[in-house]
Each structure stands twice: as C-alpha cells, then as structure tokens.
C-alpha cells in the first residue's frame, strides 16, 4: 500500500488541534509515544533534505546499506556483508527479508535505482558529492541480492558515507507515483511507515509489521508534535501530554529534582557556526572574514546559548577524536578586538558596514545570532538578525541566498563530510561558495588512501587552511539533551544514531 501524506484541514483532525497558539495533545494508548519537537519538518525525501526536524522522521522511514556504531565502525544494515575484490570495487550481499512499506521485496535493482537517483543532477541530491556517492563510476546488479558498486578511484570514506541518510534505499515506483519527489511520500524500508503530516502541528509514523529486525519496532505509533517554544514543551512533558522532548540546557536545572523525568544526553558531533557568503562583495576579502572571527567571544556565546554545556569547536568537533584540530590554540579563535578593527580598516571598512544574519527557529541558533550581533557591533559591523521559519531557512540555505547565516551542522562519520562536503569547490553543502585549490587537492588525496595517518595529515592541513580563510567561523559543539518520562525505556541516542526509536518501549 502506497503511503502518501495527506494535508488535512485542521477542523477534520481528532488527534491534535491548535488552541491559544499551543498544541493540545489528546490522550492515547501506551503503545503511542508522543514526542515534542522543537521545529517543523520541511519534507521527508532522504536524498534531498538535511533539516534536523525532517531527519527525525526520515530516520524512522528509511534504511541504508550499512550503518556505523558509536565508535564509527561500519556495521551491516540492508547489506548483510560486503567484499572488496580490488581497491575500487565493492560487492554487497543484501538481506533477503527486507520489504518496502508498500509490501514489495527490496532487491539489488532498488540499490541501483537509488544511487542512480542520487547521482542524477536533476534531483539535487545532497549525496551527489565526492564525499558521498559522487565518486561512483558504475552500479551493476549481479543477481537479485547482490550488487556491485565501482568507484572512479580509491575512495577511503566510501563505506562510512553509505551510512548517511543521503544514501538511503528507496522504492522507484513510489518516487514515480509522486512526481519524482519523496518530500511528501514514503518509499522506505524502515521500522515505521509515514502516517499524517499536519503542517505546524503533527507528524505521525506507524509500526511496519514486516520490518526485517525481529521484535522491532516495539511501539505502535510515534506522534511528533511541533512545539517551538521550549517552555511549552517542558510543560507538556510535566503534564503527561508528551513523553519525550528535545531539550535545551535552560531546562536542566528546572528538572534536576523531578523524579518523574529522566535527562538523556550525549556528546554530539554537531557544531554551530557562522557561515559567510564569500560571493558578497564585503566578504570576498579574507581580512573581513578574519575580523569577524576575531570579534567573537566564543565562551560568552557558549554561556548564553548553551548555558555552558558545549565546547569551543571548529567544523570537525573534538568528539571526532584524532581527526579534530584544537582550534582553541588558533589565534583566530581568540577574541582580539584591536586586531579585528585593524583588519577592517585595511580592507577599506574603517566605519564598518551593515549586514543581515539569518537564523533558524532553534533556541540556540537564535541566541547565537543575538550575541554575535552584539559582539560585531563593537568593531563597527551593524548586524540585523532575521529569524526564519524552518522551510524558508532551508530554502535560503539551499539557494546560498544570505550574507551571514548561523547554522548547526553535523561533523558526520568521516572527516570527508566535515571538510569536503562543506568546503570542497562546488560541494553539496558548500553554502559559503568557498573555493581553494589546495583544499580540493588535499581532500582528493585523503580520499585516495586508506592509510589513516596520511588521511589525518591531509585533512588537518585542509582544516587549518579553511580556518585561516574563514568561510565559516566555528562556535561550539554542544551536548544534545532529551527529557523523557520515567516510563519511557530503551531510548539510547548517540552521536551516530540520535533518533533510534525502534527499540523504545514503555
């Protein structure tokens, strides 16, 4: 049965209504978990969507060939095993018990179709990048449950890249039935199927009874309620209207003595950063970008935006271990207002200039934008902070239509994402439109060797170049927090799998 989201009128819904600007949640059976989320999703196509609010849903609907564990080791998912007969060829042996949500068995032909869709420039897939699937030369179906993927050259990050939702396996007929898009459709094999989506209110997903993992999922339904106001989410949790919420650090002290609420956290591989559009005239000058970096007091940003629950970070967070560079030792990560003002004078802006900072709806991003606005004013840069709804924010991100933008990104499962995907010339997430020939060369060298020491050296040289040229200015890597009712069990988020809901039960 094809799962296509209907856009329902508010008056027809019995499960959720708006009243006085707040989401009211109807009591439901204990097999239904109610999740209070902090932002509205923008669609559910795993190949084209990167918004965090959408990823929470996408991760319930889709699977990838392989996954990674907490230690960044690759582990089987849709592929039971794989072999590598030479440096550029991978042969994947697929599970034989996987079905799409429409009931059709998944085969090697679906793997071929999915990667061909990712590689189709017309789709605009985020995985169509050298750091993901962009290095693929050919995909060959050997038999119904065996598929060969050949790379153009040695691509060390390839297996880790396959764990990204950008490389999800999708059903061709569902894509075609929905005009080539999965934004409002479900073409997955995951533990849950898509139910209804009422914009700005609720998204529901339902247990897929033919899921290939025995005993999963344990819940019948998850209802994701959009509650952008943090105090409203906490109030809903306390009254039992929701069971789990995305938390921010301001909530921690409020629930510290509440025996009915569990605090769940992990050190993320996410980071917040101020991205700079290098194609805008004032930001084409590296001295202006460096001045902005020198104007920032990152510890103040952390204290205000994260209540101190974060660490100063570049775009390869310290939680990525040996791949990371200690940015606190870099002069551009230490506030120096005198030097910042001098750089602006040298760049021809003795009186500063006006600029707009785009921020999203996440509390931390709004706070970061406000503090950066204040800190930049000291060196004469007069910033106007503009809050955007999630869909508009993503549209501006995708179009690179901004001057300054506060973002929260993921470092990924391999440094190729953090470096090549965000800063390689023409790469899928290079919203700064940054280009450096040496960085591109280093990323290619790092991808072309399996020698970990060499890869580390290549990436660290690239990271240091990017820090010096400042197309994006790192702020912090936060801990991620959830608050949950004591009756919720089995929810164990990690940096690798932050929304694994298949094992959750009451």
Per-domain boundaries in the chain? 3-59+175-266+481-485, 66-174, 270-479
Interaxial angle between packed helices 298-305 and 363-377, expressed in degrees from 0 to 180 and rounded to the nearest 10:
140
Cβ atoms of 440 and 455 closer than 8 Å? no
Alpha carbons within 13 A on the beta-carbon side of 162? 25
Q: Which residues pair with 36 in a beta bridge?
A: 225, 245
Cβ atoms of 302 and 312 closer than 8 Å? yes
Considering only the top CATH level, what class is 3-59+175-266+481-485? Answer: alpha beta
Q: How confident is the model at residue 461 (pLDDT cuts 50, 70, 90)?
A: very high
- Would you state the structure tokens that stand for residue 271, as one six-digit string? 């980071």
- Would you state the structure tokens that stand for residue 372, as one six-digit string? 């950066």
Q: Determine the Cα–Cα distance for residues 298 and 301; give it in Å rounded to an integer.
A: 5
State pLDDT tens for residues 305-341. 988 989 999 999 988 888 999 999 999 999 999 999 9
Q: How confident is the model at residue 80 (pLDDT cuts 50, 70, 90)?
A: very high
Domains 3-59+175-266+481-485 and 66-174 share a fold: no
* Cα–Cα nearest to 421, from 391, 475, 362, 466: 466
pLDDT of residue 267: 86
pLDDT at 20 over 60: no
Q: What is the mean pLDDT of the chain?
A: 91
pLDDT of residue 319: 85
DSSP letter assigned to residue 307? T
Q: Which residues pair with 254 in a beta bridge?
A: none
pLDDT at 150 over 90: yes
Q: What is the mean pLDDT of residues 46-64?
A: 94
Q: How confident is the model at residue 30 (pLDDT cuts 50, 70, 90)?
A: low
pLDDT at 259 over 60: yes
Mind giving me the DSSP string for 407-434?
Answer: EEEE--SSHHIIIIIHHSTT-TT-TT--
Name the residue with higher pLDDT: 497 or 444.
444
Structurally, at CATH architecture level, domain 270-479 sits in Roll (3.10)
- H or E segment to which residue 244 belongs: strand 244-247
Q: How confident is the model at residue 453 (pLDDT cuts 50, 70, 90)?
A: very high
State pLDDT tens for residues 401-427. 999 999 988 888 889 989 999 999 998
For the chain, the C-alpha Rg in angstroms (whole number) is: 23
Name the residue with higher pLDDT: 70 or 116.
116
DSSP letter assigned to residue 23? E
pTM score: 0.79
Q: Determine the Cα–Cα distance for residues 225 and 202; give it in Å rounded to an integer.
A: 5
- H or E segment to which residue 104 belongs: none
Q: Determine the Cα–Cα distance for residues 277 and 471; give it in Å rounded to an integer.
A: 7
Q: Determine the Cα–Cα distance for residues 473 and 357; give it in Å rounded to an integer.
A: 13
Structurally, at CATH architecture level, domain 66-174 sits in Alpha-Beta Complex (3.90)
Cβ atoms of 125 and 134 closer than 8 Å? no
* Cα–Cα nearest to 465, from 425, 413, 407: 425
Q: Determine the Cα–Cα distance for residues 495 and 162; give it in Å rounded to an integer.
A: 16
Cβ atoms of 403 and 118 closer than 8 Å? no
Torsion of CA 144, 190, 116, 143, to 10 degrees: -10
Q: How many DSSP H helices and E strands does the chain contain?
A: 15, 22
Strands 146-151 and 89-94: antiparallel
- Would you state the structure tokens that stand for residue 272, as one six-digit string? 């917040």
pLDDT at 177 over 80: yes
């Amino acid at each position: 049965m094809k799962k296509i989201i209907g856009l329902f009128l508010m008056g027809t819904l019995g499960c959720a209504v708006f009243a006085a600007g707040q989401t009211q949640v109807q009591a439901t059976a204990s097999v239904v978990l109610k999740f209070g989320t902090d932002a509205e999703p923008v669609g559910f196509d795993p190949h084209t969507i990167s918004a965090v609010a959408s990823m929470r849903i996408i991760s319930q609907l889709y699977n990838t060939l392989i996954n990674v564990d907490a230690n960044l080791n690759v582990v089987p998912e849709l592929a039971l095993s794989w072999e590598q007969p030479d440096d550029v060829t991978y042969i994947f042996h697929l599970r034989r018990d996987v079905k799409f949500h429409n009931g059709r068995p998944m085969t090697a032909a679906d793997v071929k179709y999915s990667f061909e869709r990712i590689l189709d420039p017309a789709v605009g897939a985020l995985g169509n990048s050298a750091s993901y699937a962009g290095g693929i030369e050919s995909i060959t179906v050997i038999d119904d449950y065996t598929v060969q993927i050949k790379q153009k050259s040695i691509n060390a990050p390839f297996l880790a890249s396959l764990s990204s939702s950008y490389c999800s396996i999708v059903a061709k007929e569902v894509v075609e039935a929905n005009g080539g898009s999965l934004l409002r459709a479900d073409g997955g094999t995951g533990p849950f199927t898509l139910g209804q989506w009422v914009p700005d209110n609720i998204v529901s997903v339902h247990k897929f009874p033919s899921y290939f993992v025995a005993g999963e999922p344990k819940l019948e339904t998850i209802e994701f309620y959009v509650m952008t106001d943090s105090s409203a989410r906490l109030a809903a949790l306390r009254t039992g209207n929701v069971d789990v919420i995305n938390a921010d650090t301001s909530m921690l002290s409020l629930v510290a003595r509440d025996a009915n609420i569990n605090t769940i956290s992990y050190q993320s591989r996410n980071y917040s950063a101020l991205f700079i559009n290098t194609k805008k005239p004032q930001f084409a000058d590296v001295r202006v970008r460096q001045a902005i970096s020198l104007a920032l007091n990152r510890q103040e940003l952390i204290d205000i935006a994260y209540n101190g629950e974060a660490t100063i970070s570049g775009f390869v967070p310290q939680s990525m271990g040996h791949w990371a560079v200690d940015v606190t030792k870099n002069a551009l990560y230490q506030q120096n207002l005198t030097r910042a003002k001098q750089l602006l004078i040298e760049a021809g802006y003795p009186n500063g200039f006006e600029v707009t900072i785009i921020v999203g709806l996440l509390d931390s991003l709004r706070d970061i934008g406000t503090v950066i606005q204040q800190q930049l004013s000291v060196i004469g840069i007069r910033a106007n902070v503009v809050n955007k709804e999630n869909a508009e924010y993503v549209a501006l991100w995708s179009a690179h239509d901004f001057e300054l933008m506060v973002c929260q990104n993921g470092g990924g499962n391999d440094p190729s994402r953090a470096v090549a995907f965000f800063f390689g010339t023409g790469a899928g997430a290079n919203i700064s439109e940054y280009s450096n020939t040496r960085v591109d060369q280093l990323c290619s060298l790092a991808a072309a060797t399996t020698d970990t020491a060499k890869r580390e050296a290549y990436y660290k040289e690239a990271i240091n170049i990017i820090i010096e040229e400042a197309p994006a200015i790192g702020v912090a890597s936060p801990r991620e927090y959830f608050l949950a009712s004591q009756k919720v069990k089995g929810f164990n988020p990690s940096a690798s799998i932050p929304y694994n809901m298949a094992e959750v039960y009451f």
